[in-house]
Structure formats: C-alpha cells, structure tokens
Amino acid sequence: MKEFKNVCILDHPLIRHKLAILRNKNTDTKQFRELVKEIATLMAYESFKDVPTQEIEIETPLEKTTQTIVKENSIAIVPILRAGLGMVDGILSLFPAAKVGHIGLYRNEETLEPEEYYCKLPQNIEEKVVMVVDPMLATGGSACDAISMLKKRGCKNIKLMCVIAAPEGVRKVASAHPDVTIYISTLDRCLNEHGYILPGLGDAGDRIFGTK
C-alpha cells in the first residue's frame, strides 16, 4: 500500500494479539464485542493524534499555567450500520463529548453493491473532524458511499477507521477519496468469490450482534 500516501496501518503487538482472538471462529459474541471495542480505542488513540486542541488557563495548587486540551466538540463519529456500531463506545471512551451520526448501508449479497437505508447526522457536521468507522473494508463500496454522503453534506475533514481491510477495498477508497486518511490495523490477503475478506473474521455484524 506504499503507493497510497493516505493509508496508515496501525500495527501494534497489542492490536495483533486482540485480532488473533477476534478472528478465531470459537470466540463468542460477548468476547467478540469487547475486542472490537478495545481495538477501536487503541486505534483511536493513534488516529486522533492530530485532533484539534485549544489552550486554556488553569491553576495548579502552586501557580497559574496554560495547558492544552482537546476540542472534543470538534469530533463526530459516524458508524456504518450495523457493524460500525461495535466501534463507537471504544472511541467514546476517549472522546466522551464527541457527537455520533449514523449511516445505514447493507451490501446486496448478489451485486455486493451497498444499499442505503438510513442517515442521521449531527448538526454542523461539516465543521467537524468526521471519523467513519466500520470493522470491515472489503470491496470498499460501503465506505466509498458513506464518505460521498458526508461530502455531499459539506464535510471536508473525513477519516476512515477499519479494523481489517482487503487490498481491493483500500485501493478503491484511497483512489476515490485521496483526501481521506484511512486507518486500518491489518491488511489481509484478498477477497473470496463472495466478497468476504481472507483470512478475515467472517461477518462482523453477525458476530457482534449474534445474529447467526
């Protein structure tokens, strides 16, 4: 992925450890959910390095000082439903005042094209740093559509965070949206004939919500 300057692989032994358990088909729903949330927190720590900040005056027990705090109101998290919901609480644990929007897309299982069914976004989202979250970046169709929907609403500062990505999906989003930084924790091998990531972890939405 060296050809794309806007792709950032957040490789860390702790994330790899959690990913190994996440991928295991014997990992149950409860643990799967916890792991998705924890990985999202670890990824957020790194991917919000350039978060907007402001200087404030405070007083320690000894003297007045100027300190830096995060402008939490400048952040919006936008999960792609359903599976993206699994990442939201992990990011909110670091940025509790962030606003949350929702974009509902599902992949048509025959065409693999995303179909939109819901969109509710925070007010003034165009002024915020928007982090689109989805555990899986497969063909890239869902992420591309979600980003285009946000751009139509005027958003200019958009990032994408996905736990597992296929090269096909990264290429599609990186070339369609070169202004969007894509954070992933691992780049898997390829997609199978049904558009599933290999080795992957199966269907993220079904594993988070226990629907299969």
**Residues within the interface to ligand PRP (CB under 6 A):** 80-83, 106-107, 112, 114, 134-143, 169, 195, 203-205
Could you tell me which stretch among 20-28, 70-78, 92-100, 194-202 binds ligand URA (CB under 6 A)?
194-202
Q: Judge contact between 153 and 121, C-beta under 8 A.
A: yes
Query: Residue with structure tokens 């705090």?
Result: 69
Whose Cβ is closer to ligand URA: residue 128's or residue 172's? 172
Instruction: Give Cα separations from 29 to 92, 120, 163 (angstroms).
Output: 21, 27, 17
Q: Judge contact between 131 and 76, C-beta under 8 A.
A: yes
Backbone angles phi, psi at 8, to 5 degrees: -130, 115
| Separation CA 6–CA 79 (nearest Å) | 20
User: Is 181 labeled as catalytic in the residue annotation?
Assistant: no
User: Is 203 labeled as catalytic in the residue annotation?
Assistant: yes
User: Is 134 labeled as catalytic in the residue annotation?
Assistant: no
Mapped onto helix, strand or coil, the DSSP state of residue 189 is coil
User: Is 107 labeled as catalytic in the residue annotation?
Assistant: yes
Q: Using CB under 6 A, pick the residue from 138, 149, 173, 182 that binds ligand URA.
A: 138
Per CB under 6 A, 105 contacts ligand URA = no
Q: Judge contact between 122 and 128, C-beta under 8 A.
A: yes
| Separation CA 19–CA 73 (nearest Å) | 31
Task: Name the minimum Å distance from CB 164 to ligand URA.
Answer: 7
Whose Cβ is closer to ligand PRP: residue 76's or residue 80's? 80
Whose Cβ is closer to ligand URA: residue 69's or residue 190's? 190
200 binds, options ligand URA, ligand PRP, none, Cβ within 5 to 8 A by partner type: ligand URA
187 binds, options ligand PRP, ligand URA, none, Cβ within 5 to 8 A by partner type: none
Q: Judge contact between 78 and 146, C-beta under 8 A.
A: yes
Query: Which residues of the shown chain bind ligand URA in the complex (CB under 6 A)?
Result: 83, 136, 138, 195-197, 200, 203-205
Residues that are catalytic = 107, 111, 203, 206
